[in-house]
Amino acid sequence: MTRWHASDDLVTRYTDGSLPEPDAWSLEKHLESCGSCAARVSRAVRATAAGAVVADVRTAVLGAAPAAPARAAAPTASPALTSKARLARLLWAAGPAVRGAWPPAVLLVAVGAIALAYGGGFAGARPLLLAIAPVVPVAGVALSYGAHADPLHEIAAATPSGGLRLVLTRTTAVLAVSLPLLTLTGLLLPASGAPGAAAWLLPGLALTLASLALASYVGCRIATAVIGGGWLCAVLAPPLADPGANLTARLAAQVSRCLDGASAQGGWAVAAGLCAALLVVRRPAYDRLEQR
């Protein structure tokens, strides 16, 4: 049962846009269950200039309604147009990273690793690739979601497909591009004492889920910077700080410690599961993500 009603001042400030956002959210939630306040707000909105525009639009829409059956009888769109529309929706859902410069950047990483190995004679190309590969999807997620990446972010986030569902859709697109390409590249590189080419897949998934879970607290950009930067420091700093042995051998040994073996992979599997569980718990936070 409703215990309070919106004051005239609150309604006035809401209609002219001067009410702070948290108070506006509270009022909108109250209007869902209070018919009298909803009617007062509706009358106040109709009295504004925006209300007159909305009324004109409503009249135009209702006036065009009888023409709907005629349009329904018109020939359907061609299969080619339908396919183009589906492709456009798929590219929008995939996100700015997959549509923009990110796929060429991933391809550049792959080609660069092969060029270092066979053109430059660098024996540590595979360990270096395995060190960098887990943060590639993390960076793709950072470039796929948020107002900084998508000019339509606020509109997309407000749709039923927004929030965590949209984030996971774009994350899947990022993983679908990076996982096969970088794994195939690893197979083409000399082993040089490094783990197998697919050893980075589970750590990459765990780091991506960790970034998404942390993003529910601090936003995508900060979360991916913390997770990606932390991984690079953990895997690259020890070899660079130890002057006693060959850099390639030190890098391969450090990558093996982080990625190779049942214990390491088991730890990454547990980490991925925990991050996925935390992400489920934090799902409501994505309804307001990137609006803070």
Helices (H), the chain: 8-15, 21-31, 35-46, 49-64, 68-72, 79-94, 96-99, 102-114, 125-132, 135-142, 153-157, 164-188, 201-218, 220-241, 247-259, 262-281
User: Residue type for 257, please?
Assistant: R
The CA distances from residue 57 to 50, 52, 62, 80, 126, in Å, are 11, 9, 9, 33, 61
Its pTM stands at 0.65
pLDDT string in tens for the chain (292-residue length): 446 788 888 888 888 878 887 787 788 878 878 888 888 888 887 777 766 766 776 677 666 655 444 444 444 545 554 665 565 555 555 566 666 667 788 888 889 889 988 888 888 889 999 999 999 888 887 777 766 666 656 665 665 566 777 778 888 888 888 889 999 999 998 887 778 888 999 999 999 999 999 988 888 888 999 999 999 999 988 888 876 668 888 888 889 999 988 999 999 999 999 999 999 898 888 776 655 4
* Domain-wise residue ranges, the chain: 8-72, 83-287
Nearest-angstrom CA–CA distance, 129 and 75: 53
